[in-house]
Structure 1
């Protein structure tokens, strides 16, 4: 049985291609490692998760596909399952941007020796991009995937220096204004929708926190609409 990936995982797989040995951190069902090996996109994968239950499901699929020699499973948190220099690239997908940042910070000796990071944060993308910029990584590729109403952001980084000159790059992707991804407009519309929910929830409230959040979200919506108008013209 050939594994078929979701649009989100297809984009991630394409970003990983070219590395011989990778680690899929938080592998969950194990579909990505199996797909990468079956399609000769990588030679070997270390698939890890913090819980036994999803790891057992991944092992079941790996065994069914007879890929035990190419895919090794490990139980543990983040990069703690790896030795420095053990893999070329790491995938961290389907988790929050703050968690990805914290996992990179927790094992700096491992992170520093990685040649490629393929990151798909579910939220707090701006925080993660700022962290990469501050810790010696440069974004070499940004990609998007759409599933239903949701647009997923995929960030590919490598060791190097990066300076973002436009504050919106943290929110919309490094050099978003030149890449003009076909899903960029959908991403902006999704972000506007989410910020509008915050505005509705904080409108009329008098606490300092609510007032600040209302002001920040309202200003962010204005900036996003400005970018949207530029893209449509």
Structure 2
């Protein structure tokens, strides 16, 4: 079974021999790949929507992996019992949604040994949440697939020091390692912020707001980081 570069980068962060829960599993491609390659022992594939849930069940059945992959329908971590999985993957969702999922079942989140997230937006908010809630970022990757850039973050329980504010946007380990896609990543962040500021520029009230100044300062910090590459 072949998986795309995004899922492969996530799979590479999953520890060997664990039970993994894939939240928002869609077709269960990730659990099937990990089980088929003997990387993990067991998997839980969860999805809140009926269509993806049925697709996952059919895919697992076709792969003859029903005994090793439990497909469950439910909202977020409701499909996982405390201590049932050591690793949780939450990929392809907005950052605020990821945080809500982790907050909603603290009794499950507290038992996890590794968390792998791939936020579609608001990755900086996810990094801030991890840092202030007892999680240490241990790995970060950038993957370009079908013309889109994805950020993938792996964290484990542990204390971490507050970051330079702009590194919540960039990613501290992406910056530290000078990831090959780092320049493209920073340029995408710059383009996005310029667009936000341009939209706000049409309103005098917005231009004089604290939010406008925050975005303008963030843009300058990103441009300064770009010159260091």
Distance 2:116 2:208 in 1: 35
Does the alignment pair 1:127 with 2:125? yes
Q: Check whether the contact 1:198–1:213 (CA below 8 A) recurs between aligned residues.
A: no
Q: Secondary structure at the match of 2:20?
A: strand
Q: CA deviation at 1:19?
A: 4.3
The correspondence of residues 86-165 of structure 1 with structure 2, limited to 5 A, is: 86-165=84-163
Match of 2:43 in 1: 45
Q: CA deviation at 1:109?
A: 1.0
Flag the 1:32–1:209 CA change in 2: closer, same or farther, 3 A.
farther
Q: Secondary structure at the match of 1:15?
A: coil
Distance 2:17 2:113 in 1: 9
Distance 1:210 1:149 in 2: 36
Q: Secondary structure at the match of 1:168?
A: helix
Distance 1:218 1:192 in 2: 10
Q: Secondary structure at the match of 2:21?
A: strand
Match of 1:20 in 2: 18
Q: Secondary structure at the match of 2:13?
A: helix
Q: Secondary structure at the match of 2:33?
A: helix
| Structure 1 alignment gaps of length 5 or more | none
Q: If the length of structure 1 is used for normalisation, what is the TM-score? A: 0.92
Q: Secondary structure at the match of 1:16?
A: coil
Q: CA deviation at 1:217?
A: 2.7
The correspondence of residues 163-202 of structure 1 with structure 2, limited to 5 A, is: 163-202=161-200
Flag the 1:209–1:43 CA change in 2: closer, same or farther, 3 A.
farther
CA root-mean-square deviation? 1.6
Does the alignment pair 1:227 with 2:225? yes
Q: CA deviation at 1:41?
A: 1.4
Distance 2:107 2:207 in 1: 38
Match of 1:63 in 2: 61
Question: What is the number of residues matched between the two proteins?
Answer: 229
Distance 1:131 1:229 in 2: 28
Q: CA deviation at 1:218?
A: 2.7
Q: If the length of structure 2 is used for normalisation, what is the TM-score? A: 0.94
Q: Secondary structure at the match of 2:228?
A: helix
CA deviations over 1:175-218 (Å, ceiling 9, x no partner): 44322111111110111111121122122312347854443333
Flag the 1:130–1:19 CA change in 2: closer, same or farther, 3 A.
farther
Q: CA deviation at 1:94?
A: 0.3
